[in-house]
Amino acid sequence: MDLRRIQDADFSPHVANSVQELLEQIISERDAICQALASLKAGLAKLEKRLEDTDHRVGALEAKMVSTQGCVVKHATLMKELAVGKLVADYKLETLENKLRARNLRVTGIPAAIRNVNLIPFIENLLPAALDLNDKQVPICIESAYRLPANNAQVGKGSTVLITLSDLRHREKILKTSWTTNFHGHKISFFPDLSPLTYARRKRFVALKQQFLKEGVQAYVLYPSKLKVLYQEKMYIFKDVQSADHLLDEIRKEKMTMTLIRNRLALLVLGILVTFVLYLLLPAIQQEKFTASVDIPKPRAMEEEVKNAGNVTIATGTILHSSVFFREAVLVQKDVASSTEKLAVIFLHGQSFTSKTWETLGTLALLAENGYRAIAIDLPGYGSSPRSASVGTTKGRISFLEQVFKDLGLQKPILISSSMSGRYSIPFLFSSGEQLKGFVPIAPVGTKDFTAQQYQQVEIPTLIIYGQRDTDLGVQSLQNLQQIPRSRVVMLLGAGHACYLDKPQEFHKALLSFLSELK
């Protein structure tokens, strides 16, 4: 729609003017947008050009970096070649120097009184005596003799003279004989003349030779500066000290490993011997066990004396059919009431213990002396009781305790249960608690499996015992068990989970007090 079409249209003057103004405004804004787009296009073109320039510069820098890296690699290669070349040059110079010194000998111990002009005649007279030569052999001639400065001579042992022989063979002949001889009361020695580098390396090889000998390995220093090592039927000849050091380290590590293996084997043999001795002595220290006769309805036991038990013996036996092992404290006095008339107390043990724990602790004997029938059993799979698949369920463990009470002739006993044995005692408390006279839990497991309402319905007198330091199972079981209406708590100060072992006197005192109330 243009201005003429607007004018031809049938609009009022006011509307036509408004439309015309709006159209002019739109045209103006369109022109502004076109100008902005043109400016933006120009800016993008400049940016594109700059990006191209930047790409060219980056490419040039990358080319320079590649060139620089190539130079660095070449430089490193050159340095390696120079190092190798230096080593080769040093070796050649050292070899050349040793060749120049090939006819030289160092003679030590020359008396200071011998003047320099008399050095050659003195040494020429010395050599036949040192080499044990006769008159018919060709004499050894010395071209020159030079006394080294006094600071190189050994103090109190004469001076050192450097001589040059006319014939190289004479030098070898001298060095193959004894290097030290006595001549007119003077101790004179002969040594090859070596370059400083060769001499320093030879000294290091001499020190290494001593270290090899300490390790029990044969080693020899060869002329001019080599080390020969004989190890495990192999011969090694070293020209550099580093390789010899490496072999010495390997030998030491191998010896250390062999020493450790020998020590472990010795310990293993010692362990086997100890085990064998214990196996031989085990029958002599095992306690006698007794299996009750099938014809007698009540369990019977073979009696055995307990040390320091006074008037009490500990009878051991096995319950018929179930093969459960038990211990019972029995008074040896004649005028005592029958065991069926006594208040019975039966002990269950924890994970790491057996019925022997209550015997060793003196609990069984103590209760027997105080007029109670005291019995402790080995739970299935512990001590002398065999494993039983029937106790794998809660119902099976409840039936197990009911059968034990029946076989032992226990009428409403007091049940003492510690730690792991809570798997038996806690379910039994809720299902057959009426069969108990009292209950003494000692940080038992399984207390969290029952509700507060179930605990509040228990009517059995209960003595809760736990150790002050048993902050795990002891505290957890206490929170549940103390909801039993007729319960009371005894905390043994300073005791841990097995509080009856840590504080036996306090434990026995609390137990006897509780039992006396149930009579």
List residues with catalytic annotation.
419, 470, 497
Alpha-carbon gap, residue 205 to 238, rounded angstroms = 9
SS3 assignment, position 118 = helix
- Determine contact, residues 453/477, Cβ cutoff 8 Å: no
Contact call for residues 196 and 98 (beta carbons, < 8 A) = no
Would the CA dihedral through 33, 36, 42, 45 be positive or negative?
A: negative
**C-alpha pair distances (Å), 251 with each of 229, 238, 257, 499:** 12, 15, 10, 56
Report the SS3 class of residue 213.
helix
Taking alpha carbons only, the member of 163, 169, 155, 84 closest to residue 120 is 163
User: Which burial class, exposed, middle or buried, applies to 394 when counting CB atoms under 10 A from its CB (0-12, 13-18, 19+)?
Assistant: middle
Tally Cβ neighbours within 10 Å of residue 454: 14
DSSP string, 418-440: EGGGHHHHHHHHHHHGGG-SEEE
Report CA torsion sign: 82, 85, 90, 93. negative
Short-list 437, 435, 430, 432, CA closest to 452: 430
In angstroms, how far is the first alpha carbon of the chain from the final one? 120
User: How many Cα atoms are found within 13 Å in the side-chain-facing hemisphere of 386?
Assistant: 9
351: left (phi over 0), alpha (psi -120 to 50) or beta: alpha
Report CA 51 to chain centroid distance, whole Å. Answer: 61
- In angstroms, the CA 124 to CA 126 distance is 5
Contact yes or no for 91/179 (Cβ under 8 A): no
The three state secondary structure string of 270-329 is: HHHHHHHHHHHHHHHHCCCCCECCCCCCCCCEEEEECCCCCCEEEEEEECCCCCCEEEEE
Are the C-beta atoms of residues 313 and 304 closer than 8 Å to each other?
yes
